[in-house]
C-alpha cells in the first residue's frame, strides 16, 4: 500500500532575542508530488535537509542534484530554494537556523552548500527540536541550538566517515575507464553515483591525476574513436555512438581540435 503524503512542521515563536543564531523551524515531510511549496525566493535563513527514503531533486545555480537516503542538502541564506520528489516519493527531515551567525555554524563544520553525504539521519534529534521549539525562554532556545548543532556535527561526521571517501577517486576513475562509452555518463552523473558534490569531485580528481575529470572522460572517448577510425570501416555515426559521443558531428569536431586532422584523414 502506498504511504500517504504528510507534512509535520513547527516554527519557533517570533519573540525578541539577542542570540546570533537560533532554531527557526523544523519539519518531517513525506512528499509524493512536485509542488510550489518547495520553492523559496532567497530566504534569510539556512536550511538543512536530511533524506530518509525515496529521492529528492534539488536545484542550485541552474544545476539539478539527486538526493538519496543518507544524503544531506544545505541551502545557505540568500539562495533560491527549489526541490521536489525525484521518484515516487521523497521522505526527509529538515530544520532551519536564523540569525547573523547561522551560516558560520555550517562553515565551522565544513558543511558546504549543496549535496553531501551525512549517513543515517539522527531522527531522535530532529524529534527533540519538534517537541521543544515552541518554548521561548533563552535557556530553552540555547538548548535547542545545542541540539541543532549536534545534528550538524552528525552530518559533518557522516561526510568524513563516508566509506567511499578514502578511495572514491579510484572508484571514479574506474567507472570512467569502464563506462566511458555510455553517452549518459558525465561528471554530474558520476558525482551522483558517488554521492559527492560535482565541484568537489572535479577539484579532487584534478589534484590526484593532474587532469580534470571531464577532459579525462573526453580523452578516453577520443582514443577509442581514433583507434576505430584507423582499424575499422565503421561509419562515423556508429563510431561516435560506440565511444559515447552524442553525434558524428561532435565527434568530428573533437577529433579535429585534438589532433589537427579530420576523421577521414585518420583513415588514410
- Domain CATH code at residue 200: 1.10.10.60
pLDDT of residue 35: 60
Tell me the three state secondary structure of residue 44.
coil
Shared domain for 217 and 136, answered yes or no, is: no
Report the percentage of the chain scoring pLDDT > 70: 92
In a domain, 1, yes or no: no
Residue 184: phi, psi to the nearest 5?
-80, -10
**Residue 160: pLDDT band with limits 50, 70, 90:** very low
Last residue of a domain, one of 161, 192, 223: 161
pLDDT digits (tens, 9 = 90+) for 167-179: 788 888 988 998 8
Last residue of a domain, one of 103, 128, 161: 161
What's the domain count of the chain?
2
Tell me how crowded residue 221 is: count the other CB atoms within 10 A of its CB.
21
Last residue of a domain, one of 144, 161, 178: 161
Q: Which of 33-47, 132-146, 198-212, 218-232 has the lowest mean pLDDT?
A: 33-47
**Residue 15: pLDDT band with limits 50, 70, 90:** low
Domain range spanning residue 175? Answer: 168-267
pLDDT of residue 170: 87
Rounded to whole angstroms, the Cα distance separating 161 from 117 reads: 9
**Cβ 196 vs Cβ 173: under 8 Å:** no
Report the percentage of the chain scoring pLDDT > 90: 57
Shared domain for 56 and 116, answered yes or no, is: yes
Amino acid at each position: 500500500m502506498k504511504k500517504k503524503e504528510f507534512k509535520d512542521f513547527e516554527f519557533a515563536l517570533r519573540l525578541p532575542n539577542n542570540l546570533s543564531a537560533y532554531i527557526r523551524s523544523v519539519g518531517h515531510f513525506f512528499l509524493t508530488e512536485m509542488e510550489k511549496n518547495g520553492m523559496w525566493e532567497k530566504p534569510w535563513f539556512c536550511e538543512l535537509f536530511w533524506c530518509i527514503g525515496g529521492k529528492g531533486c534539488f536545484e542550485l545555480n541552474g544545476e539539478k542534484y539527486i538526493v538519496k537516503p543518507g544524503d544531506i542538502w544545505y541551502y545557505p541564506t540568500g539562495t533560491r530554494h527549489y526541490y521536489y520528489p525525484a521518484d515516487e516519493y521523497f521522505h526527509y527531515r529538515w530544520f532551519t537556523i536564523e540569525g547573523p551567525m547561522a551560516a558560520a555554524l555550517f562553515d565551522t563544520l565544513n558543511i558546504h552548500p549543496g549535496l553531501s553525504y551525512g549517513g543515517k539521519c539522527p531522527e531522535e534529534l530532529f524529534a527533540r527540536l519538534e517537541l521543544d521549539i515552541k518554548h521561548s525562554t533563552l535557556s530553552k532556545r540555547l538548548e535547542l541550538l545545542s541540539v541543532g548543532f549536534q545534528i550538524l556535527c552528525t552530518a559533518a561526521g557522516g561526510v568524513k566517515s563516508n566509506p567511499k571517501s578514502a578511495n572514491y577517486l579510484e572508484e571514479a576513475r574506474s567507472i570512467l575507464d569502464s563506462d566511458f562509452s555510455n553517452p549518459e555518463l558525465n561528471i554530474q552523473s558520476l558525482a551522483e553515483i558517488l554521492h559527492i558534490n560535482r565541484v568537489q569531485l572535479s577539484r579532487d580528481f584534478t589534484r590526484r591525476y593532474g587532469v580534470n575529470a571531464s577532459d579525462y572522460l573526453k580523452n578516453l572517448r577520443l582514443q577509442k574513436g581514433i583507434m576505430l577510425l584507423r582499424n575499422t570501416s565503421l561509419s562515423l555515426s556508429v563510431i561516435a555512438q560506440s565511444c559515447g559521443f552524442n553525434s558524428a558531428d561532435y565527434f568530428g569536431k573533437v577529433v579535429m581540435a585534438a589532433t589537427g586532422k579530420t576523421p577521414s584523414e585518420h583513415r588514410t
